Amino acid sequence: MRPDRSGLTRRALLAGASGTLALGSRQAMAEGIEEQGAKDVDTSDGAVIAVVGDPQLGPMVRDGMQLKIEQINATLNKADRSGGLLGTELRLYDASTDLPPASDVVGRDVRSAVLSVARRVMGQRGLIGVIGHTAVDDALPASITYLNRGIPFIAPSITSSDLTLHGLDNLFAIMPDNAEISTQTARLTFDIGRRRAIILRDRSDGALEISRAYRNEAAVLGLEIIDERSLPKGSSPRDYLAGMQGKRVDHLLIIGSMEMQIGLVRFAHIFGLPVLCVLPTMVNVEMFRDQLLAAAPRIANGRVDPSFPRVLIPVLRARSNLSTKQVEWGDQFKTRFGTDALDLSMQGTDAVGLLAASFERAGRFNVNEAKRVMHGELAYNGVGGRISFRANGRIYTKLLNFASVRVADTPSILYYPAGA
């Protein structure tokens, strides 16, 4: 039996306990931070924005940031100190490949590596913001290091709600959290006429969080959750999918790694569950389609069995329904880097735009003012849509699009665009 209390609750309790312990010394340290942020940053050699990431995902964010920084700098007139950001040139400090890959982020050795990168970044003169990190386990300790200097930190891709659980003053997450993604997924599933679900998930905290949010929204909408299984690592889908053949369901909610999700879609087909498979996690949809196609069972002439299930995935951009801004940005990105832009690069561009807009509105390079603007009054209109933040620093304005992936006959990706 698993204990009743979830990992999330335990962490909240731990946070509470440690917070209480620290209360006495907090005031003094907080005053120190205020003092740090009260002075304007010295940007006489340019205003620096740092990108921190791992070799797998960091460069994607960096390229998006680079594009926006170059666009801002292109407006700079050094003679009369106009244009740019408050008449100043922006510079990128590149630590986009300095962290270990997200898959390796376990244990204390990683923490010390992360902190060493974070301290190095903090040593940059003219630093006005940090963008990056793709795993909550490295982002959270690093964000505290950034907080120590009062520097705004924007996480472009982390969906775990652990990141914003503590309400760090300097931390801004521009990707919806797992609960929000799951809620929006439940609504779309309801809207396309699905009413009865089985939830299959792995045993991670993230999967539990997604499942709970789906259940909550299902209760509001009247979606029926027929069954839910948390699957131990290495278990065979045969053990539980065989028992589901007789149940009348119209969709499976599959929460876990991409490998697990694809395996379960395949087994759902093998066990004759001709249902929509809903995967409420953000993935690269083209890569997912290719992997699903490779895993799909074949019939005569190497064709994929036409009854192979359709898969529904949330995405940031609906490729069939790009906004004018997204089309222009995609063209600029391709011209600059020679490749098609990924969603993560768009997040990088928007993160720089957001920072720049905040300092612009603050009217000076003061990190406290910029954070106040971001928390309290900004509705930045980025490539991916509007960005405003909850009090805990998580974006609440992102309407997700959904991709419907089918690999039978002609592999295709159709989109349910947000607001269409």
Residues that bind another protein (CB under 8 A): 7, 10-11, 14-15, 18-23, 25-26, 29-30, 33, 106-108, 111, 137, 140-141, 144, 147-148, 162, 164-169, 184, 187, 190-193, 217, 220-222, 318, 320-321, 361, 376-379, 381, 386, 388, 390-393, 396-397, 399, 414-420
Packing angle between helix 324-337 and helix 343-362, nearest 10 degrees?
A: 110
Residues 53 and 133 sit within 8 Å (Cβ to Cβ): yes
CA distance to 301, 310, 319, per residue, from 403 (Å): 28, 10, 9
**Minimum CB separation from another protein for residue 157, in Å?**
19
300 or 379, CB closer to another protein?
A: 379
**Minimum CB separation from another protein for residue 136, in Å?**
8
Q: Give the pairing of strands 385-387 and 380-382.
A: antiparallel
**Residue 113 and residue 138: Cα distance in Å, rounded?**
9
**Residue 95 and residue 134: Cα distance in Å, rounded?**
13
**Minimum CB separation from another protein for residue 45, in Å?**
28
Residues 336 and 70 sit within 8 Å (Cβ to Cβ): yes
Scan for tokens 């499942």, then name that residue: 211
**Residue 187 and residue 404: Cα distance in Å, rounded?**
15
21 or 299, CB closer to another protein?
A: 21
**Minimum CB separation from another protein for residue 321, in Å?**
4
**Residue 59 and residue 250: Cα distance in Å, rounded?**
40
**Minimum CB separation from another protein for residue 256, in Å?**
17
**Minimum CB separation from another protein for residue 272, in Å?**
25
165 or 225, CB closer to another protein?
A: 165
Tokens of 109: 């050795």
**Minimum CB separation from another protein for residue 349, in Å?**
19
22 or 226, CB closer to another protein?
A: 22
156 or 385, CB closer to another protein?
A: 385
Q: Give the pairing of strands 251-255 and 276-278.
A: parallel
Q: What angle do CA 339, 341, 343 make, to 5 degrees?
A: 155
Phi, psi of 50 (to 5 degrees): -100, 145
**Minimum CB separation from another protein for residue 367, in Å?**
13
CA nearest 144: which of 119, 107, 108, 174?
Answer: 119
26 or 238, CB closer to another protein?
A: 26
**Minimum CB separation from another protein for residue 294, in Å?**
24
**Minimum CB separation from another protein for residue 274, in Å?**
19
How many residues can be counted in the chain?
420
- Those residues with Cβ within 8 angstroms of residue 155's Cβ, 6 or more apart along the chain or in another chain: 132, 133, 139, 143, 163, 171, 172, 173, 174, 175
**Residue 361 and residue 353: Cα distance in Å, rounded?**
12
**Residue 50 and residue 129: Cα distance in Å, rounded?**
6
168 or 295, CB closer to another protein?
A: 168
185 or 345, CB closer to another protein?
A: 185
**Residue 146 and residue 91: Cα distance in Å, rounded?**
18
7 or 83, CB closer to another protein?
A: 7
190 or 267, CB closer to another protein?
A: 190
User: Residue 47 forms beta bridges with which residues?
Assistant: 90
